[in-house]
Amino acid sequence: MLRGTLDLLILQTLTLGPNHGLGISRRIGQITQGAFDVRAGSLFPALHRLEERGWLSSYWGDSENNRKARYYEMTAAGRKQLRAETDNWDRVALAITRALKAT
Amino acid sequence: MGILRRLVCTTRNLVRGTRIDRDLDHELRAYVDLLADEKIASGMPPPQARREARVESGGLEQVKEQVRVVRSGALVEQFVQDLTYGLRVLRRNPSFTLVAVCTLAIGLGATAAIFSVVNSVLLRPLPYAAPDSLFRVENMHYTGEFVELQRRGQSFDVAAYLTREATITGDGEPQRVAAASVSPNLMPLLGVTAVRGRALEDGDERASNGAVVVISHEFWRSRFGGDPGVLGRLVTLDGTSRTIVGVMPRDFDFPTPATQLWTPAVVDLNNRIALWSSSRHIIGRLRPGATFPLADAEVRTIAPLMRALFPWGMPADYGQNASLIPLKHALVADVRPLLTLLLAAVATVLLIACVNVSNLLVARTLARQRELAIRASLGAARGRILRQVLTEGALLVLCGLVLGVPVAYGGMDLLATSLPADMPRSVTLALDGRLLAFAAAALATCALIVGVFPALRAAQVDLVPRMAEGERMGQSRRTRWTSNLLVGTQMALAVMLVVSAVLLARTLANLHAVSTGFAVEQVVSARISPPQFRFPNAAARRDLYSQVLERAASAPNVVSAAVTDRLPLGGETYGSVFSIEGRPDPARTGEWPIADVSAIVSPAFFSTLGMPVQTGRTFTADDAETSQRVAVISESLANKYWPGESPIGRRFGFPGDGNRLRTIVGVVADVKWERVTDKLRTALYVPIAQAEPAAMRVVIRTTAGPSAAQEHIRSIVRGIDRDTPVDRPRAMADLVATAVEGPRFAALLVAAFAVAGLLLGAIGIYGTVSDHVAQRRREIGVRIALGAQKADVFRAMLGGTMTVVAAGTVAGLAGAAVITRLFASMLFEIAPTDPVTFALAVGILAATAVLAGYLPARRASRVDPLSALRVG
C-alpha cells in the first residue's frame, strides 16, 4: 500500500460516520472491493497517529452486539485534511496515469 | 502537526502513559472479541473462532508495541524505559556494577586530574595580551646583549628578567622571598597591569625617582593582610628602602609561580665588565606586522656582530646559536615530557578500564541471549535492543562520571602537593572550555567503547535457535573473536605501561646509585646573606664568616665547619674564564680556558664535604690575604688543560683581576654540581682570604640532627648580627633527594598506573576464561566423560586466551618501543629499548596472565561430567 494511502482510506471511511477499529477495517474492505485487507498491526498505529494529529477524535461506545468498543470520529481538521489529501491524490493519480499512457 | 500540539501529546503520553496503555489494551481486546463474534455469527464454533481471531490480529503485544512507537514522545518514553530497565539490570548484578563503575570512576577521575595539570601548565594560553607574539631569546643571556638587542631590534621589542632571592628586613625576623629583577618595560611588554596601583614602567630604574617595588597578590595578602592602604608603604629589601607602587593580579606568575616581588633592574652602561659578564633571561614581543621568521633572522644577524663589543675575546662561533622560541614553549619545555607521559599513561589506564568493562558487558550480553531473544520475539525491534544495550553501557559510564568527580578533585589535591616544586606555571583547576571539551570527548569515547562491542553482540542474536535450544555447546566464533580482541588490546596497553614503569623505576635506581662525589650524611648547610648596609666591604664580610666558623666549630656536636659560595647540587653553578701563564694570550686568540664552576671556599670546605685530595694540598690558615695567591682545581679541569702533566705549581689569572696570578697548589676529586645526572663539571676553588665573598653558605658536619644544626647556625648568626638573614637551610641528603624528585614523581605515578592497568588486565583475563569455562561446561563434561585428562582440559581452556595474551604482549612491546623513545630525555643511563626491561615486562605480564587464567581454568578441569551433562 502506498505511503499515506491508509490514512486517506481511514478518513474517507469515517465520512460515513463514527466507527470502531474492526468496523473501519471491514468498511475499507467493502469500499475497495477486497483490494485492501487492513490488519490490526497497521490499523491501530495509523488510528492513533491520526488521533494525535487531531484529525480524529475517539470515545468509548457500545457496538451493535453490545460490546464496549472505541469509536473514531472525524474532526473538522480531519475533514480539511481529507479534502487536501483527496485533491493531492487526484493530481498525483492523473499525472501518473498520463505518464504511463504517454510511453 | 504544530509544535504545541506535539508537546501536549508528548506530555500527556509521558504523564498518563499507564492509563493510555490500559485504554489501548481494552481497545485491542474489544477488537479481537468483535472479530470472534463475527466468526461465530458465520457459524464457527466459539473456541475456534476466538483462536482464529487472535491469530488474525497478529499478536496483541506486537500491535501494542507498534502503536507505542508511533506515539509522540515514543523516543523519550523508550529512553526512560531503557534507563529504568538498565538500572534494574545493573542493580540485579551489584558486584559487576560495582567493579565496572569503580573502574570507570577511577579511570575518569585520574585522567581528569592529570589533564587539568596539563591544561594549566602546557595548554592554557599565557595570560598576557597577544601571547602568541611573545618569545624568548635562546643562547643570549648577557646584559650587554640585551642592551644591544633593545637598541638595534627593528622587528621586535625585548625585556629582561632575572630570578633571585631578596631579603626583607625591618619588622621581625629577616625574611627571604623569591623575587625577580626585571627590566622596567617587562610588564608593559607582557601587557599586564596591576590590580592596585601600577605595574613597573620605564623610568623606574632611575634612582632619582626613588626605589620602587611591585608586590604579588599573595605577598600583599600574607605580609600586609590585604591592606588596601599598602600603596606607598616602604619595605626594606636587601637593605634598600623601596616604595610599594603596585600589587599584581593573582594569576600573574611570571617568571615563576613563587615570585613575590618585582624590582626594576638597574643597568650601568659604563661598567663594561658587569655589562658583558652579568646574565639574565631575555624575552621579547614581535612588533605589529613582524613575523617569527623575520625576527629570528634579525636576531641571528645582530648576534655575531656583538662579539666585537665584549671586553674580552669570545669564541669564533659566538652568536651562531642565537634564536627565538615562543615564550610559552620556552617556559614549559622542561616539564613537557613529564606531563605528556603522565597524561598518556593515565589515558591508557582509562582505555584499559573501558575495554575491560566492555568485555565484561559482552560476556553478560552472551549470558542474556535468551532474554534478548524473548524481547525480540515480543516485538522489540533490533534497533531497540541495540539501543537498550548501548544505554546500559552509557549508564555505567555516567555512574562512573558521577563517582569520578570526587576522584578528580582528590587527585588534583594529591597532585598539587606532590608535583615537583619547579613547575614553571601555577597549577589551577580551571573549569574552562578545554577541560570541558576534553571531559566530553573522554566520556563519549568511553561510552562508545563500553557500549559498542556488547551492542554489536546483541545485534547478532538469532531468535529462534536461542529460544528453542536453550543453551548451546560453545560460543560462536564471532563472540570469541570480539572478546579476544578486547583482551589482546588490554594486554598490549598494559605492556606499554609496564615497560614505561620499569624503565622509570630503573632510572630512579640508577640515579640513587650515582655517586655525587661528596659526603651526604650528617652534612647540613644554610645561606648567610650579609646585607650591604651592615657589611659594606669584603673585609667586613670575611670577618663575619670567620666569626661564624669560629663559633660553629666550638659547638660540641660539630665535626667540622666551612663556608662556600657554591654548594654542590645547590643550584648555584657559575663559572669563570681564565688565562694560563705561558700559553697564548686568550685576549688575542679569543680562546679562553673556562671552568664550569668557580668557587670561593674556606680551608675546611674539602674535608667537611669529604672531597678527597688527589695531589698537592688544599687550603690552610696560612693562605692569607697577603701571602702567595693560590687555587685548587678539580681533577677534570686538570685533565682538560694539563693533560698528562702535573698542574701543581702552574699559574693562571682571572680577567679583571689585574695581573695577579694564582698558583695551583692542589687537585681534588670531581663532584656533581647541578644535577646528579650531570656530566662532570670542571671546577676551580680559591681561598676566602684571597677573594671578595658576598653571600656564602655555611656547611657543617655534625652529629646533631639537621633541624638542631640549622637552629644552631641561626643562633650563631643572630648572636653576631640581627640584620643578617639565614636562609635556604638544606640537609645535603635532602638536596640529593630533591635532585631525583622529578624522576621519582614520574616513576611512582607511572608505576601506579601500570599496576592499575595490570589489575584490570587480570580481571579481563579472569572474566574471559571464566566465561569460556561456564559456556563450555557441557563440552568439558563430554570430554572428561570420553577420557580427557585434567591437563588437556586445562590446556584447552587456557590455551586460546594465552595465545591472545601473547599476541597482545607482542603488539604492546612494539608499541612500547615506539612510545618509550618519546620520553627518552627522562631516562638516565638506560636505553628506551633496554632489552632487560622489555624481558622483565614480559615476565610480569605472563605471570599476571597465567595467574588470572589459572583459577577459572582449574575450575574447568574439576568439572564433574555427570552433573555437567545433566544440566542441559
Lowest mean pLDDT among B56-70, B438-452, B622-636: B56-70
Which chain B residues are closer than 8 Å to A61 by Cβ? none
Residue B705 has pLDDT above 60, yes or no: yes
Q: How far apart are CA B839 and CA B837, in angstroms?
A: 5
| Secondary structure (DSSP) of B736-805 | HHHHTHHHHHHHHHHHHHHHHHHHHHHHHHHHHHHHHHHHTHHHHHHHHHTT--HHHHHHHHHHHHHHHH
pLDDT of residue B207: 65
* Range in A23-27, B47-51, B153-157, B460-464 the model is least confident about: B460-464
pLDDT in the model for residue B192: 93
CB-closest option in A46, A53, A65 to B37: A65
Between the alpha carbon of residue B545 and those of residues B523, B526, B692, B694, B737, the distances in Å are: 18, 13, 12, 10, 28
The predicted pLDDT at position B184 comes to 92
Would you say residue B161 has pLDDT above 80?
yes
Per-residue pLDDT at B668: 94
Residues (pLDDT < 50) of chain A are none
pLDDT of residue B473: 43
CATH numeric code, A5-102: 1.10.10.10
Residues from chain B that touch A70, judged by Cβ atoms under 8 A, are 23, 26-27, 30
Tens of pLDDT, residue by residue over B768-777, are: 788 777 777 7
Handedness of CA B33, B34, B39, B42 (dihedral sign): positive
Query: Given CA atoms B541, B542, B544, B548 in this order, what sign does their dihedral have?
Result: positive
pLDDT, one tens digit per residue, over A75-97 is 999 899 889 888 888 888 888 88
pLDDT greater than 70 at residue B618:
yes
Using a CB-CB cut-off of 8 Å, the residues of chain A touching B35 are: 22
Angle between the A40-52 and B60-70 helix axes, to the nearest 10 degrees? 30
Between A and B, how many residue pairs show a Cβ–Cβ distance under 8 A? Answer: 70
Instruction: Please state the domain extents for chain A.
Output: 5-102
Q: What's the rounded mean pLDDT across residues B356-362?
A: 85
| Residue ranges of A 74-103 with Cβ closer than 8 A to chain B | none
Which chain A residues are closer than 8 Å to B70 by Cβ? 45-46, 48-49
What is the percent of chain B where pLDDT is above 70? 94
With cut-offs at 50, 70 and 90, classify the pLDDT of residue B430. Answer: low
Q: Give the model's pLDDT for residue B572.
A: 67
CB contact under 8 A, B30 and A39: no
CA neighbours closer than 13 Å in the CB half-sphere of residue B476: 16
Quote the mean pLDDT of chain B.
85
> If you average pLDDT over residues B425-432, what whole number do you get?
75
CA distance B34 to B699: 106
pLDDT in tens, B829-867: 889 989 999 999 999 988 988 888 888 888 877 777 777
Asked if B30's CB is within 8 angstroms of A67's CB, the reply is: yes
The answer to whether the Cβ–Cβ distance between A45 and B5 falls below 8 Å is no
Q: What is the CA radius of gyration of chain A?
A: 15
Amino acid identity for residue B282 in this structure: I
Tell me if B26 and A52 make a contact (CB, 8 A cut-off): no
For B669-706, letters b (16+ CB in 10 Å) and e give: bbbbbbbbbbebbbbbbbbbbbbebebbbbbbbbebeb
pLDDT tens-place string over residues B756-771 = 889 888 888 887 788 7
Min Cα separation A93/chain B (Å): 25
pLDDT at B457 over 80: no
Count the neighbouring beta carbons within 10 Å of the beta carbon of residue B665. Answer: 21
Give B489 to chain A, closest Cα distance, Å. 46
Q: How confident is the model at residue B601 (pLDDT cuts 50, 70, 90)?
A: very high
Whether the pLDDT of residue B169 is over 60: the answer is yes
Element of type H or E holding B222 = helix B217-224
pLDDT digits (tens, 9 = 90+) for B497-516: 999 999 999 988 888 887 77
Per-residue pLDDT of B620-679, as tens digits, reads: 989 988 889 999 999 999 999 999 899 999 999 987 776 689 999 999 999 888 777 777
pLDDT band at B269 (very low <50, low <70, confident <90, very high): confident
Answer whether B30 sits within 8 Å of A45, measured CB to CB.
no
The answer to whether B514 and B687 have CB atoms below 8 angstroms apart is no
pTM: 0.72
Which is more confident, B283 or B518? B283
Looking at the predicted structure, is the pLDDT value of residue B781 above 80? yes
Bigger pLDDT: B231 vs B381: B231
B74 in reach of chain A (CB within 8 A): no
B40 in reach of chain A (CB within 8 A)? no
Per the DSSP assignment, residues forming a β-bridge with A56 are A74
Q: Which of B59-63, B219-223, B380-384 has the highest mean pLDDT?
A: B219-223
In chain A, residues with a C-beta closer than 8 Å to the C-beta of B24 are: 44, 48
- Cβ-defined contact of A40 to B9 (cutoff 8 Å): no
Does B793 score more than 50 pLDDT?
yes
Q: B471 falls in which pLDDT band (50, 70, 90)? A: very low
Query: pLDDT-based confidence at B470, cuts 50/70/90?
Result: very low
- Residue whose cell numbers read 640537609: B731
Weakest-pLDDT range from B76-85, B179-188, B414-423, B467-476 = B467-476
Does B872 score more than 60 pLDDT? no
Residue B128 pairs in a beta bridge with: none
- Among A45, A54, A67, select the one facing B33 at the smallest CB separation: A67
Q: Residue B855's CB: how many other CB atoms inside 10 A?
A: 11
Higher model confidence: residue B16 or residue B804?
A: B804
CB B483 within 8 A of CB B768: yes
Q: From the CA of B31, how many Å to the nearest CA of chain A?
A: 6
